[in-house]
Structure 1
Amino acid sequence: MSLVLTEIKNKVGIITLNSEKTLNSLSLPMIEELQSILTDWKTSDQVVCLFLQGAGEKALCAGGDVRKLYDAIMAQRAIDPTEVPKDCYDFFSKEYQVDYDIHTYPKPVIVWGSGIVMGGGIGLMVGASHRIVTEKSKLAMPEITIGLYPDVGGTWFLNKMPSAFGIYLGLTGARLDGADCKYLGLADYYMESSSKEDIINALKQADWTSNPYQTVSDILNTISENTDIPESQAALHHEFIQNFEGVDAVEEFSDLIRNYPEKDDWINTGLKSFTAGSPSSAHIIFRQLKQGKHLSLEEVFQSELNLSCQCCIHPDFAEGVRALLVDKDQSPQWQPATLNDITTEWIDSYFAELKVEDFQSLS
């Protein structure tokens, strides 16, 4: 069974992530297939625009297959725990290359972001030229809960959000619906999930002789124009998020969210993820976003590749995956165990440059 299905209709290249059982989670073979398609279609006269979707109704993509990465880390630890596992390096470097290619693609890329879109799924969606969400969309970057950090370009897109939403979402893994995504700039169009066939049919009948970006925009504007967008929880919490704008340290963030007097369900859910998450991750995320504010897109992916590889040789990533997906005891033993146990030297060690196969350029 092919992990990625393709068809071309009227110069529209339709790509379907085809692993419905795993909610279309990204494995290395799937990433490699995607890369091959993107590369082939970049210069093909047969394809004028791309439409990316997930198989089934439940998800575009629930993220990367971190269980496989866990296995690679554990196997490498038995041999030499200071070395980055090759499978992990291959996974992250190839995943980020695909993400970078979508950001810089020379043709319109439409992404159907209905259902679950998490972690690596957001990486595929966020750089597209035309990003669609629906009433079924559920997006999040919950990496703090597995000892990782919001990668796949998170340094780039979280820093582009209004107010302090980027740092808040990074540290709490807060869930977003379609209305939130539109409000925060993660999506361009909100429409009913039943509209997909209408879009594909319109694309199949489109006249591609003029500007294809404009042609796609006109089609999506027409289909989405009468859709009512519900109220966004993120928008309703804008005033609360403004409290974090001047925060200079993770401890300050922690004090603010813990002691906020008027907590509702949305805030409590974020607080729960933050307090249960890896203390090292909290510090890494804070530094990642502060340091990465002015990086170019290519520099963002280079720095994230280094940081992700470092996470593979630090303890918390494997431990977070073990607790969530392997033993499923939901009781990760983080090292260090609390925010206050963490030293500057420890966080510096995550950002130390690795000489792994001399990171290739993404351009």
Structure 2
Amino acid sequence: MTDFSQCDEVLAEVRGGVGLVTLNRPRALNALSLPMVRALTAALKRWSDDPLVHAVAIRGMGKEGPFGAFCAGGDIRFFHTAALSGDPALEDFFTEEYALNHLIHTYPKPYIAFMDGIVIGGGMGVSQGASHRIVTGRTKMAMPETGIGLFPDVGGGYFLSRCPGRVGEWLALTGELLDGEGAVAAGLADVMMESASLPSAWDALSQIDWQSPASLGKWVATFSIATSAGAISARPLIDAIFAGKDVSTIVQALDSDGSEWARATLATLHKRSPLMLHVVLEQIRRGRDMSLADELRMERDMVRHCFTTRHLARSGASSETVEGIRALAVDKDHHPRWSPAAIEEVTPEMVEPFFDSPWPAAAHPLRHLA
């Protein structure tokens, strides 16, 4: 293995002209830490300029060996601890993670993501920019950040807003879990493979003749399997209801529809942070017309406001995000005390400042993204 930054939670090697990365934190479902972000960034930057490396592939280590779990997001326990202690590494994490997401989206070589098992939050950030996004029957994909008082970051405002119809709004607000076929239907994956074939597919990458332009396509064709059309059965309702002008309109439409799907979706929304539901809908709508770099800069502004919501005189333990993480992952009581407590109590004056940058353009931490 090639050691790029003294991080044993990211295993990196070059074999057969392919840079191979394994996220190696299986007990935490490969949740990303700052050292992992730095190790992955270092490997990708080195390989991008290496003429002997023709492509990159990434997978996660499962509890019983490679595959079975991709990445469960960022290390939210670290977020909680760092926010309460004022640790500046929290700021570094988001700046460097978003820069890594941009690097992957703009990578000059094929980048192949094996999204087997859990693919949540930060796991989407290191896979959605891939040229080849592979899912399986074990894939469980989601951006569930509204459940912890956050928003779908790591470029979520960019890639979710580009899902067909209003699927992006639906996924961003509800945090709905997609299987492999649903991910393909949502435009968040390119091909499906059998989980059992992944080790063979991984090893076969090192046997590709990279001098032949058609070789990678042949590799995909060899291992991919068919998916069912129309895997998101509620698409007509999603497109009709989640086109609503604001969260209150969406909630009213769900309540009026009365179908089993609408009732379940409404129940889900009532568990999410009311404030962040409004913020997230605005994020997706803005992101639809933004470049990736600009959208990531917007997210960097937003995440600062999540932990230090000055316009609401809230920070640290009183912030929506720290409270959401407390309820889910620290105390595990699953009863976050959201503020405001109800969707109809959120005002535009609470939402709009999330999109004001704390930095002048020349000093923005992501100003160098092109």
TM-score normalised to structure 2 length:
0.90
Aligned residue runs from structure 1 range 169-318, under 5 A: 169-211=171-213, 214-224=214-224, 227-230=225-228, 233-234=231-232, 236-244=233-241, 246-264=243-261, 267-314=262-309, 315-318=319-322
Per-residue deviation at 1:351?
1.7
Aligned to 1:81: none
Per-residue deviation at 1:142?
0.4
Task: Check 1:51–1:257 CA distance in 2 against 1; reply closer, same or farther (3 A cut).
Answer: same
The letter for the 2-side match of 1:10 is G
1:66 aligns with 2:76: yes
Aligned to 2:369: 362
SS of the equivalent of 2:153 reads: coil
- Among 16, 34, 55, the residue aligned to 2:22: 16
- Per-residue CA shift, 1:180-219, capped at 9, x if unaligned? 11111111111100111221232221111133xx422221
**d(CA) in 1 for partners of 2:265, 2:217:** 35
Equivalent residues of 1:164, 1:242 under 8 A apart = yes
- Per-residue CA shift, 1:64-118, capped at 9, x if unaligned? 0011011111112xxxxxxxx5222111111111111111000000000010000
**d(CA) in 1 for partners of 2:210, 2:190:** 21
Per-residue deviation at 1:162?
1.0
SS of the equivalent of 1:5 reads: strand
**d(CA) in 1 for partners of 2:183, 2:123:** 14
Q: State the structure with bigger RCO (CA 8 A, min sep 6), 1 or 2.
A: 1
Equivalent residues of 2:105, 2:129 under 8 A apart = yes
SS of the equivalent of 1:176 reads: coil
**d(CA) in 1 for partners of 2:41, 2:243:** 40
**d(CA) in 1 for partners of 2:251, 2:149:** 17
Aligned to 2:324: 320
Aligned to 2:90: 88
The letter for the 2-side match of 1:229 is T
Give the gaps of 5 or more residues in structure 1: 77-84
Per-residue deviation at 1:355?
2.2
SS of the equivalent of 1:335 reads: coil
**d(CA) in 2 for partners of 1:216, 1:321:** 41
**d(CA) in 2 for partners of 1:254, 1:158:** 20
Aligned to 2:352: 348
- Per-residue CA shift, 1:108-130, capped at 9, x if unaligned? 00000010000110111111000
Per-residue deviation at 1:231?
6.2
Q: Number of paired residues?
A: 348
**d(CA) in 1 for partners of 2:12, 2:212:** 25
**d(CA) in 2 for partners of 1:317, 1:203:** 41
**d(CA) in 2 for partners of 1:269, 1:52:** 35
1:334 aligns with 2:334: no
Equivalent residues of 1:163, 1:245 under 8 A apart = no
Aligned to 1:154: 156
**d(CA) in 2 for partners of 1:268, 1:261:** 6
Per-residue deviation at 1:58?
3.2
Aligned to 2:314: none
Between Structure 1 and Structure 2, the one with more helix by share is: 1
Deviates more, 1:267-276 or 1:242-251: 267-276
Across the aligned residues of Structure 1 and Structure 2, the Cα RMSD in angstroms comes to 1.6
Task: Check 1:270–1:58 CA distance in 2 against 1; reply closer, same or farther (3 A cut).
Answer: farther
Per-residue deviation at 1:166?
0.6
- Per-residue CA shift, 1:167-189, capped at 9, x if unaligned? 01111101100001111111111
**d(CA) in 1 for partners of 2:218, 2:11:** 27
Per-residue deviation at 1:230?
4.5
Aligned to 2:313: none
Equivalent residues of 1:108, 1:216 under 8 A apart = no
Aligned to 1:144: 146
Aligned to 1:100: 102
Q: Which runs of 4+ in 1 moved over 4 A?
A: 230-233
**d(CA) in 1 for partners of 2:287, 2:277:** 15
**d(CA) in 1 for partners of 2:60, 2:263:** 31
- Per-residue CA shift, 1:283-341, capped at 9, x if unaligned? 00111111222111110111011101111113100000011111111111111111122
**d(CA) in 1 for partners of 2:230, 2:30:** 27
**d(CA) in 1 for partners of 2:269, 2:29:** 25
The letter for the 2-side match of 1:337 is A
SS of the equivalent of 2:260 reads: coil
Give the gaps of 5 or more residues in structure 2: 1-6, 310-318
